[in-house]
Amino acid sequence: MKSILNVIADIPEIPFDILNNVRNRFLEIGRDRFFDEFKKMDAESLVNKCDTQRLLRAYEIAIFTGKPLSYWWSLQEWLHHGRSLQDGRLSNNACAAITEANCEKDPLCSSLYDSVAIVLNPEREELKQVCHDRICSMIQNGAIEEVEDFAKRYENYSSPLVNAVGYREISALLQNEISLQDCIEKMHLRTRQYAKRQSTWFRNQMKGAFVFNNFGYVSKSLELLKKTL
C-alpha cells in the first residue's frame, strides 16, 4: 500500500542467477554463518536472522547492487519525507544515498495521490464465518487439485509460496497424513490467525482511517470514497 501511494526507492531487479546463488550459499553454510556474512555487508540492518525470506532478500540486494538494504530504505525514507542532509535523524547510509542521488531539498507531500483509508474490521463471529466460507469455497473450487498438480510439476519446491494458507495443509491431506476435516480445520485456524495479524497491522499502520465493523458497509465505504476524493 505504501509502495502505491508514496515515493519508493528504485531497487534494481535481481537476476535469477544471483537469486539462485544466494539461496545455495544459505543452504551451504547455514543460517548463522550466512547472517554473519550479511551483517558485514549491512551492519545497520534490522533484519531478523530467523526471517529467512527477508534475510535472503537483503543479502541479494547487497550482493547485486553493492549497497545494503538499509541504504535503499534510507533513501526511500528521505524521498518520502523530504528531509535534508542536516537532519540529524538520518543515518550514514541515508546521507550517502541523498548525496549520490543528488537530491534537492524539496519536501514531498505524504502521498503522491489524494486518498482516503478505509478499514473493514468486522466483529469476531462474522469474521470467523467469512474465513470458514472462504476455506469451503477454496476446496469446492479445486484447491486440492491445484496443489496436487503443482506438487507434481515442481518437486522439492521451497519458495515462500509454500507458506500460503492451505498449501501445507492440503499437501498433508494428499499424503494421507490428515483427514479432509482436519485439513479444513487447520486451514480455517491459519486463516483466522492471518486475519488477526492483518487487523494488528491496520491498527498500527492506518491510524486515522475510517473503520467499519460490518462487511455490509462495503457499499457505504464506496460511497464515502466517492464523496471524499
Angle at 166 between CA 162 and CA 168, to 5 degrees: 50
Domain ranges in the chain are 2-101, 118-228
State the fold for domain 2-101: Histone, subunit A (1.10.20)
User: Taking the alpha carbons of 85, 87, 88, 93 in that order, is the dihedral positive or negative?
Assistant: negative
Rounded Cα–Cα distance for residues 186 and 169 (Å): 7
* Angle made by CA atoms 27, 28, 31, in degrees to the nearest 5: 55
What is residue 109's DSSP assignment? P
Query: What pLDDT score was predicted for residue 183?
Result: 95
The one-letter amino acid code at 174 reads L
* pLDDT mean for each 10 residues of the chain (229 residues): 59 87 93 93 86 90 87 63 42 44 38 66 85 92 93 75 88 94 94 89 77 70 65
Give SS3 for 2: helix
CATH number of the structural domain 118-228: 1.10.287.890
